[in-house]
Chain A
Amino acid sequence: MPATPRPAPVSARLQGATGPWELVIGLEVHAQVASNAKLFSGASTGFGAPPNSHVSLVDAAMPGMLPVINKECVAQAIRTGLGLKAQINLMSTFDRKNYFYPDLPQGYQISQFKQPVVGEGVVVLDMADGEIEVGIERLHLEQDAGKSLHDQHPDYSYVDLNRSGVALMEIVSKPDMRSAEEAKAYVTKLRTILRYLGTCDGDMEKGNLRADVNVSVRRPGEPFGTRCEIKNVNSIRFIGQAIEAEARRQIDIKEDGGAIVQETRLYDPNKGETRSMRSKEEAHDYRYFPDPDLLPLEFTQSYVDGLAKGLPELPDAKRARFIKDGLSPYDASVLVAEKANADFFELVAKDRDGKMSANWVINELFGRLNKEGLDVGASPMSAKQLGGIIDLIASGSISGKIAKDLFEIVWTEGGDPARLVEERGLKQVTDLGAIEKAVDDIIAANPDKVEQVKLKPTALGWFVGAVMKSTGGKANPAAVNEILKKKLGIV
């Protein structure tokens, strides 16, 4: 950690009864590795299967069974490390974390305690008042446990081992966050990176991404306070709420002259409070030691380099490219937040004006998707259709106003935008004779307005509107303007 930990922005301070407080937050994120098979067995990782249907002899810890590392999970961890600009350790080791629980058949979790596969890295966050960097302490591979089911039988608990042995990446941040907003931004950004890399689907509802949140408070300028760890928070919203609730609890204790006890806590989203799970004295002694069933995990730099070559463009790089292509930093950030959104945008923007494409994708399409509660994958309008609408505007075939109507038609009815324009006569009138006639008719019918506009040229707008109305909005507005000015003698 830095010698002088970054102070919280003044805006992020929490006001107590006796003055301001700063939060210090670090996160341990557990991300399920996207892989077909578990970390040490060939069993499937498929979600939603009947209980205990994805369980190998190894996962059930039958006598004499041995773990064999799944190389794809290792590759995913390395890819993630590269995405976090982190140190990749060519030699790492697996350790056993020993404790008893029925959803842990071996009686130990295979994890990496002493020598993780990935070392220090960094995640950059775009906050309202600028960029901040959150340090990554380490990333290691470990097995997930099974699941205890306490509601299946009045007297017994059941255990589902489908998750048992599934590969997790534990990504440990440095205590570099200073507000709930920053912590939420960190998890959001981390999830974006993982999804870009394809190393974790980031699905928090399925528990595929969850966080242990370490929170402490201090007076501005003071060293770190005693921290509490809030276990297993499974949504970004709850992470924010849990931090706020825990910080308030700690501030109240300190302001009442009490001391924070280091302990593990749980967040209850219904009550909006954290409660004690176990204290430091009750903490398990996990008796970590190197797993004698597994040789050290070793690979070459050229293997890492090969994986690096295969990495996709990551959000920070994509954002920079979008800005270079003329997008505003805000639009670029919105687009890269979800890889599927960025991909959709790039399809639309291909060979088209970037800024105009961004406007239509973000304001019209995403706005509409949001309203309907859909994500881009479920969009009724394809990139090709939206691109078609933009082409029609660019070529002057339709006006911006007609384009919005056309958007509505394509959204609800579907179809090829160009053909719709033809079939429904939406095409902008650029026939100057027709426009001239419409202009002449308006001028003839409104002599009083003609007098007004000669005194006050800004009244031209009324004529434009009238002509547009009389042509059903199809007249080319530029042509209307020009002809009106000429006929009315406005320079």
Chain B
Amino acid sequence: MTDLTSLTLAEARDGLAGKQFTALELTDAFLAAIEQANPSLNAYVAVTADQARAMARISGNTLAKGKGRALEGIPLGIKDLFATKGVHTQACSQVLDGFKPTYESTVTQNLWDAGAVMLGKLNMDEFAMGSSNETSYYGPVVNPWRASGKNADLVPGGSSGGSATAVAASLCLGATATDTGGSIRQPAALTGTVGIKPTYGRCSRWGVVAFASSLDQAGPIAKTVRDAAILLKAMASHDPKDTTSADLPVPDYEAALGKGIKGLKVGVPKEYRIDGMPAEIEKLWQQGIDWLKAAGATIHEVSLPHTKLALPAYYIVAPAEASSNLARYDGMRYGLRVPGKDLIETYEKSRAQGFGKEVKRRIIIGTYVLSAGYYDAYYLQAQKVRTLIKRDFDEAYQKVDVLLTPATPNAAFPLRSMSNDPIQMYLNDIFTVTVNMAGLPGIAVPAGLAPDGLPLGLQLIGKAFDEETLFRAAEVIEQAAGRFPVSNRWWTGAAPGKSRKTS
């Protein structure tokens, strides 16, 4: 029998419907894979095996009656940022030590309502602040990929490093993730998986631990474009509990696939051709242009003149909001409390111990840029930049339907190689943050391998609420480039290339 964990979500769905295997068999296969892999990869911070099996049994009954819902019996991993009732929900921070909510986030509730099975909670950068998954209180996630002929552990990207690794290493059929400045797309690109950050407002933020409210958006990381389309359809909804969620119907994204891109106008923003861009990224980008052209799209150079201001402005807006959003972690009502001699000292000790270095750095930056006398110079300026960035995109979309850019400026890098250089680390998001600043949808799709054998991704950026075009165009790249499953499953102890069968 085929290794069930190697299936795509769509294949598993069809296999379940065709009764080739049961939902419980599928879930058990993933639980076994997690048990084997997690000591090496550290993708899961909590495994909910009993719950998973109970959900799988229910799905099994539903499937047996032929009444399977969209994700019936599909085992998923959930980023630790999503509130899951009665289950570990700590944003991978010590400050939320022991916190188990009494409520379920709207996004995860939507998934369970569609029949999905929860395998557990996935590792991430603390409060989603990071681009390497090294800021987690639970330790770094290790990328399942290794450079050819090397054994050095690489980062999976962040902040959804656990989600990306779990999908790439076949420890779930898909994962929820969130993206504030690139936290879905960058780790997807660094692990050879597909990740889409939908339009701001497409998925409810209710029950998702907030980092930067005006930028945070949930989305899936999946093995294929089709899987991502299936997952996003299930995750998205209008939610009256989140007034920033969009009151728009959610299209059937899977139905948009296979329609090709003939006549699609693809823009190539010249400002993304940055100094010192590695040759392989340049090459990959050109390759993507050629594939889309070959599929019938027309290519147009466009200008997004304020692109270079996006990253600095992002590192004002996001920390400003975070400094306020994270004020509630004060040791008073839940999570960690380190008692001091009085109230102020209890605040200080709880927050000093509860937050990691990167989170503290951003709280301090955010507090500073909102302070009296600095607000106008920093926060207000950043908001103006944001308006200009939105205008750039509005103008570009007068001429084109979608934009094609690299997803990241580099492939996966070794663990701890950047963690002492925050600026270098922040530059990982250079191609992704503009999309958050403008509230637009963006998808990262694997498009090739670097010379050292590590995966690289391309990014497609769409018009607001036009995720369908992104899926259509991403599928064209996926078909041209082929898929990039991890070839060396080193964590299984098996010989390279031998452990994985393809169906």
Contacts and interface: CB of A to CB of B under 8 A. Distances in A.
A287 B327 CA distance: 12
A303 interface: no
Interface string A277-302: 00000000101110011110000000
Interface string A69-99: 1000000000000000000000000001010
The residue in A69, A159, A292 that gathers the most chain B C-beta atoms within 10 A of its C-beta is A292
B243 A105 contact: no
Contacts of A432: none
B138 interface: no
Nearest to A108: B324
Nearest to B239: A66
Interface in B296-320: 320
Given A108-B327, A159-B332, A295-B244, A100 B347 contact: yes
Contacts of B103: 57, 62
A63 B101 contact: yes
Contacts of B326: 107
B324 A289 contact: yes
Given A285-B372, A292-B213, A66 B241 contact: yes
B401 to A, nearest CB: 28
A98 B321 CA distance: 11
Given A63-B96, A107-B327, A108-B324, A102 B240 contact: no
A292 B241 contact: no
A203 to B, nearest CB: 29
Interface stretch (B184-192, B204-212, B223-231): B204-212
Interface string B75-113: 000000011000001010000100101110100000000
B423 interface: no
A66 B206 contact: yes
- Chain B interface size, under 10 / 10 to 19 / 20 to 34 / 35 or more: 35 or more
B207 to A, nearest CB: 4
A105 B333 contact: yes
Contacts, number: 96
A294 B326 CA distance: 17
A159 B332 CA distance: 10
Interface string A104-129: 01111000000000000000000000
B328 A105 contact: yes
A65 interface: yes
A102 B321 contact: no
A67 B205 CA distance: 11
A12 interface: no
B330 interface: yes
A193 B379 CA distance: 40
Contacts of B213: 292-293
Nearest to B245: A66
A456 B214 CA distance: 96
Interface in B359-416: 367, 370-372, 375, 379
B1 interface: no
The residue in A61, A98, A107, A108 that gathers the most chain B C-beta atoms within 10 A of its C-beta is A107
A473 to B, nearest CB: 72
A320 interface: no
A34 B212 CA distance: 33
A60 interface: yes
A159 B328 CA distance: 15
B332 A105 contact: yes
Contact of B324 (A67, A69, A107, A159): A107
Contact of A68 (B243, B370, B372): B243
The residue in A64, A98, A293, A294 that gathers the most chain B C-beta atoms within 10 A of its C-beta is A64
A63 B371 CA distance: 25
Interface in A358-399: none
Given A63-B101, A102-B332, A292-B212, A68 B241 contact: yes
Given A102-B330, A108-B324, 7 more contacts: A63-B96, A100-B327, A100-B347, A105-B328, A107-B326, A287-B372, A292-B244
Interface of A: 57, 60-69, 96, 98, 100, 102, 105-108, 157, 159, 285, 287-289, 292-295
Interface of B: 82-83, 89, 91, 96, 99, 101-103, 105, 205-210, 212-214, 240-244, 320-321, 323-324, 326-328, 330, 332-334, 343, 347, 367, 370-372, 375, 379
In the A-B complex, the 9 residue pairs with the smallest Cβ-Cβ separation, listed nearest first, are A107-B327, A292-B214, A287-B370, A292-B213, A61-B328, A64-B207, A63-B209, A285-B372, A64-B83
5 contacts: A62-B333, A98-B370, A287-B371, A289-B324, A289-B375
